């Protein structure tokens, strides 16, 4: 009797597992569905593919203006920012620059940001002649797709904000390399007066 009980005790877990396995169904795994471009008896045209709703734009598709969307035209970087540059765009560019760019490039673009001070590889100064004379589309492309150790910011920075950052970088470059003759007379006089008082 004891031997039969021991055998039954050993078989009991196997019976429980077998009962559970038989009760397991894969309805979630084997759901009725249409395969892509497969036939369908449900729709009158006999296909499972449905026409797109009018006006639908595919996710990630290009905006009508390739210069705005890619920073290039015919494979060449655009020379000038396609967005109108004004106080609002510059303010937005400054805000985005301070968030995404200044940790590495520093507040005025010298490549001396906090990350660099903590051991990260120093990026080039945005005031190098090579970058000051580069096309705006080149700067846009580097922001969007990265370059060297700089990661791509396409996922973090929306398209118009990338162009706003480019505009702000140009303002930073101008602030460090503008000639005194380029300023209006009242501003020029104010700077000269300050220089004499120091």
Per-domain residue ranges for the chain?
Answer: 78-177
* Residue 83: per-residue pLDDT: 95
* Residue 53: per-residue pLDDT: 85
Per-residue pLDDT of the chain (198 residues; tens, 9 = 90+): 566 666 667 777 777 777 666 666 666 667 777 787 888 888 888 888 888 888 777 666 556 788 888 899 999 999 999 999 999 999 999 999 999 999 999 999 999 999 999 999 999 999 999 999 999 999 999 999 999 989 999 999 999 999 999 999 999 999 888 777 777 787 777 776 665 555
| Tokens matching residue 17 | 């597992």
Q: Does domain 78-177 have CATH number 1.10.760.10?
A: yes
Closest alpha carbon to 132 in 94, 171, 82, 180: 171
Angle between helices 136-145 and 159-177 (to 10 degrees): 130
Could you tell me how many residues make up the chain? Answer: 198
Entry pTM? 0.65
What distance in Å separates the CA atoms of residue 19 and residue 99, rounded to the nearest whole number? 59
pLDDT in tens, 130-180: 999 999 999 999 999 999 989 999 999 999 999 999 999 999 999 888 777
The distance of Cα 193 from the centroid of its chain, to the nearest Å, equals 45
* Residue 146: per-residue pLDDT: 94
Beta-bridge partner residues of 117: none
């Amino acid at each position: 009797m004891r031997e039969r009980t021991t055998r039954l005790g050993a078989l009991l877990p196997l019976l429980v597992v077998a009962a559970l396995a038989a009760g397991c169904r894969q309805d979630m795994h084997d759901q009725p569905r249409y395969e892509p471009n497969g036939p369908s008896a449900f729709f009158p045209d006999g296909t499972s593919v449905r026409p797109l709703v009018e006006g639908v734009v595919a996710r990630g598709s290009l905006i009508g203006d390739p210069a705005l969307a890619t920073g290039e035209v015919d494979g060449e970087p655009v020379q000038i920012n396609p967005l109108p540059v004004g106080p609002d765009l510059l303010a937005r560019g400054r805000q985005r620059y301070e968030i995404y760019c200044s940790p590495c490039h520093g507040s005025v673009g010298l490549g001396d940001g906090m990350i660099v001070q903590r051991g990260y590889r120093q990026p080039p100064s945005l005031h190098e002649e090579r970058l000051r004379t580069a096309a705006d589309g080149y700067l846009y492309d580097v922001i969007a797709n990265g370059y060297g150790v700089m990661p791509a910011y396409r996922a973090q920075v929306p398209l118009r904000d990338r162009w706003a950052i480019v505009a702000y970088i140009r303002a930073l470059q101008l602030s460090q390399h503008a000639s005194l003759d380029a300023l209006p007379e009242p501003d020029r006089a104010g700077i000269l007066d300050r220089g004499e008082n120091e």
